[in-house]
Amino acid sequence: MINPSMKTAMELLLDWRSASSLFATVMLLNTLSSYIPVEVRRFGRKLLSHIFTYLKPTATIIIEDTDTFGGANDLYDSVQLYLGTHCLSDCPAVRLFKSRTAASPFASLPDSHTVNDTFQQVPMKWSSHKQERSESGPGRSRNRSGDDGTDRRCLNLEFHQKHRNLVFNIYIPYVIEEASRLRSQSRERKLYTNRSSFPGDDGHRNSWSSRTFSHPSNFDTIALDPRLKEEIRADLLRFVGRKDHYTRVGRAWKRGYLLYGPPGTGKTSLVAAIANLLEFDVYDLELTAVQTNSQLRRLLVSANPKSVIVVEDIDCSLDLSDRKKKQMEEDQDEGMMGWPRKTSTTRETLNLSGVLNFVDGLWSSCVGERLMIFTTNHPDRLDPALLRPGRMDKKIELGYCSAAAFRILVRNYLCLEEEEMDRKDTIAEIERLLGEVKVTPAEIAEVFMGCDGDSADAALVELVLELHQRKMSSQPKQVELAVVIEECSLGESER
């Protein structure tokens, strides 16, 4: 019988002999490798790579919810939409979301959960993860929930390594196509607005926040002159149908509109009607929340195609006045005061150059099919460089209410048809007064809203009284102005 201590000593001796044999084998192979041709060694490395791949066959694709610019990753949304309709029936937990206008809730995969899918008899495993970021950059502050706004979500797809070509070339395109089909079946357009940005913001969060866009304005109800309305409609439909033309002539597929006129003439309503006609999402860009030109550029590239980018009251958001006129005024001030003007040494800020590049620079061609609309009450305050063709391709003046626009308001608010309008004396009186009194469609609509519940005749009489009152209040000023002009003329003749 072998002593246990002797048995242990024998095992150690055998282990040392095995180790020495392995070491000797390695040294021999290393010596022989110098005599092996390079091609044979490359083949050996490939063979070993395939062996290791077989031993560890799982491959992983990571899909994050945002890109490096902070824009939404359309592939992430597409996968969530696909999983919500194809794979979550057996999932132990789902995340549900329903907008106010949606008919049914939308399901998605919650964080830290997995779900299985099968495509062409190949098993796929999807898992959802949340990447938390505790660091905070300059200008970042946490909200009440403790979230600094930089957390990112991602979806991981795991599959056998040998099915890599199938996943990349067939499965992923299939998921994208299915998501597009589902979106078209339940099209819900969005109204986006840009988040406030701060110096040092590194763009790890989505630059836009969104709500469901459900503005009711359309080209049938908007109070515009019918000829102008049809001109705008034809221009828009021609734009969306000319992708090949824009490509052939070497221009980005975009178009710029400038809407100008007094307040209350329907600029915002026209923007909503355009979005509804084209079925585009709306990006309401607030320039006062943008700090630098680079942040403005990041907002542009993170916007989706088929969108209307709107900058309302552009003259109030940023100093975009005529640069030549401004330079002349500054030179005059410099000469009068006797000291040179101070040069700016501050950090990068948002300026006219950044806006011009935003509208018509190289980065403006990265978005795709897009309409850009600026509105203003004072077009004369804008720099001519912003108004040239290629930036603002179509300039539309929205003036005071005309007789044709008034009839559209009567039809919308008082439900009267053309035959009924032709028979009413009040309609004829109002149309005559509209030629003498400047009133906006919004002001007429407010009168009709104040008569809600009254008859159409009562509302029309109220509008007649309102127009007469405005006419009488403006007459003394007109008479006074005429007297001043006459006195000035007499004074010139006497001299």
The per-residue pLDDT for 343 is 46
Q: Is the dihedral of CA 300, 303, 306, 309 positive or negative?
A: negative
The per-residue pLDDT for 145 is 35
CA 246 to chain CA mean position, Å: 22
What is the rounded radius of gyration, in angstroms, for the C-alpha atoms of the chain? 35
SS3 (DSSP) at 252: coil
Question: Higher model confidence: residue 319 or residue 338?
Answer: 319
Looking at the domain assignment, is residue 3 inside a domain?
no
Question: Higher model confidence: residue 145 or residue 64?
Answer: 64
Structure confidence at residue 346 as a pLDDT band (50, 70, 90): very low
Alpha-carbon distance of 331 to 152, in angstroms, equals: 51
Name every residue whose Cβ is closer than 8 Å to that of residue 410 and which is 6 or more positions away in sequence.
416, 421, 427, 456, 460
Helices 403-414, 425-434: inter-axial angle, 10-degree rounding: 140
Q: What is the mean pLDDT of residues 202-224?
A: 81
Burial of 262 (0-12, 13-18, 19+ CB in 10 A): middle
Task: Decide: 364 and 254 in contact? Cβ < 8 Å.
Answer: yes
The verdict on 385 and 250 lying in the same domain is yes
The verdict on 228 and 323 lying in the same domain is yes
Looking at the domain assignment, is residue 119 inside a domain?
yes
The verdict on 159 and 230 lying in the same domain is no
CA 223 to chain CA mean position, Å: 27
Which residues pair with residue 270 across a beta bridge?
none
- Angle at the Cα of 390 (from 386 to 396), degrees rounded to 5? 70
CATH at 382: 3.40.50.300
The verdict on 112 and 177 lying in the same domain is yes
The per-residue pLDDT for 301 is 83
SS3 (DSSP) at 57: coil
Determine which of 147-151, 247-251, 266-270, 356-360 has the lowest per-residue pLDDT on average: 147-151
Judged against a pLDDT cut of 50, whether residue 484 lies above it is answered with no
Residue 81: domain span: 58-132+150-188
Whole-model pTM: value is 0.63
Alpha-carbon distance of 110 to 155, in angstroms, equals: 10
SS3 (DSSP) at 64: strand
Task: Break the chain down into helix, strand, coil percent, rounded to 5.
Answer: 50, 15, 35
CA distances from 423 to 228, 420, 466 (A): 26, 5, 21
Tokens for 405, please give them.
Answer: 């626009």
The verdict on 173 and 213 lying in the same domain is no
Looking at the domain assignment, is residue 50 inside a domain?
no
Judged against a pLDDT cut of 90, whether residue 414 lies above it is answered with yes
Determine which of 45-49, 50-54, 174-178, 402-406 has the lowest per-residue pLDDT on average: 50-54
What are the φ/ψ torsions at residue 416 (nearest 5 degrees)?
A: -105, 140
Judged against a pLDDT cut of 60, whether residue 107 lies above it is answered with yes
Detail the DSSP E strand segments found in 3-56. Answer: none
Total tally of structural domains belonging to the chain: 3
Judged against a pLDDT cut of 60, whether residue 365 lies above it is answered with yes
Q: Which of 178-187, 248-257, 308-317, 415-424 has the highest mean pLDDT?
A: 415-424
The per-residue pLDDT for 144 is 34
Task: Decide: 110 and 93 in contact? Cβ < 8 Å.
Answer: yes
Closest CA to 148 of 76, 95, 192, 204: 204
Alpha-carbon distance of 400 to 463, in angstroms, equals: 15
Tokens for 10, please give them.
Answer: 């024998």
Task: Decide: 381 and 419 in contact? Cβ < 8 Å.
Answer: no
Looking at the domain assignment, is residue 45 inside a domain?
no
pLDDT, tens digit, 9 for 90 and up, residues 439-472 = 999 999 999 999 887 899 999 999 999 999 998 8
Percent of the chain with pLDDT over 90: 37
Q: Is the dihedral of CA 315, 318, 320, 324 positive or negative?
A: positive
The verdict on 364 and 427 lying in the same domain is no
Judged against a pLDDT cut of 50, whether residue 225 lies above it is answered with yes
Looking at the domain assignment, is residue 374 inside a domain?
yes
SS3 (DSSP) at 217: coil
Percent of the chain with pLDDT over 70: 72
The verdict on 213 and 360 lying in the same domain is yes
Question: Higher model confidence: residue 259 or residue 487?
Answer: 259
Judged against a pLDDT cut of 70, whether residue 50 lies above it is answered with no
The per-residue pLDDT for 28 is 67
The per-residue pLDDT for 289 is 87
What's the chain's average pLDDT?
Answer: 79
pLDDT, tens digit, 9 for 90 and up, residues 271-289 = 999 999 998 999 999 988 8
The per-residue pLDDT for 4 is 55
The verdict on 238 and 260 lying in the same domain is yes
The verdict on 252 and 355 lying in the same domain is yes
Looking at the domain assignment, is residue 230 inside a domain?
yes
Task: Decide: 116 and 124 in contact? Cβ < 8 Å.
Answer: yes
Looking at the domain assignment, is residue 354 inside a domain?
yes
Judged against a pLDDT cut of 80, whether residue 245 lies above it is answered with yes
What are the φ/ψ torsions at residue 277 (nearest 5 degrees)?
A: -65, -45
pLDDT, tens digit, 9 for 90 and up, residues 177-212 = 998 888 776 667 889 998 765 544 544 456 888 888
Tokens for 134, please give them.
Answer: 């505790």
Judged against a pLDDT cut of 60, whether residue 231 lies above it is answered with yes
CA distances from 171 to 116, 121, 123, 147, 174 (A): 14, 12, 11, 35, 5
Tokens for 441, please give them.
Answer: 């469609």
pLDDT, tens digit, 9 for 90 and up, residues 63-106 = 998 876 667 788 998 999 899 888 888 788 888 887 666 667 88
DSSP for 281-350, written as a single string: EEEE--GGG--SHHHHHHHHHTSPSSEEEEE-SHHHHS----HHHHHHHHHHHHHHH-SPPPPP-S----
SS3 (DSSP) at 149: coil
The verdict on 481 and 352 lying in the same domain is no
SS3 (DSSP) at 37: coil
Looking at the domain assignment, is residue 143 inside a domain?
no
The verdict on 248 and 378 lying in the same domain is yes
The verdict on 279 and 389 lying in the same domain is yes
CA distances from 347 to 199, 260, 286, 293 (A): 9, 33, 21, 11
